[in-house]
Amino acid sequence: MAYLGAAYLWVKAAHVIFVIFLMAGLFMMPRFFVYHQESAPGSDEDRKWIAREKRLLKIILNPSLVLTWIFGLMLMVELGAWSFGWFHLKLLFVLGLSAYHGWIAGYTKKLARGQRTLTDKQLRLFNEVPGIAAAVIVIAVIVKPF
């Protein structure tokens, strides 16, 4: 433990906690989208879904993403993880999840404008992205295959 010292385990715990929050939001939002698309644009139900999605994004997803990155970068420096092959795989998938978060934020805005550009089936398929990414990340970090 180079610079974190006794705080290392607290930083690691915080990283895992905010990853859990982030993943929960990434799983929830596409399901929200499926239900939201069933409502008529401009209806009372539409406005309720817009408010729900905005709260999920602003209260859970955005802060969790930022804190996951902060604590993750602290751990990366502490461990010198950049020199490990498994870390590069993890980083690739974390970047992908960050891009997925960006897509979610963008689609939230589209729905708020009344645009429904994806089908329910497509949204259900997009819902699988965080699970697949999480599986690869966990295997990379725990198994360290290379």
Per the annotation, binding residues for heme are 15, 90
Judged by DSSP in three states, 110 sits in helix
Geometric angle at alpha carbon 21, from 121 and 145, rounded to 5°: 80
Closest by CA position to 29, among listed 106, 132, 93, 117? 106
Binding residues: 15, 90
Judged by DSSP in three states, 88 sits in helix
Would you say 23 and 134 are in contact if contact means Cβ atoms under 8 Å apart?
Answer: yes
Residue 141 CB neighbour total at 10 angstroms: 14
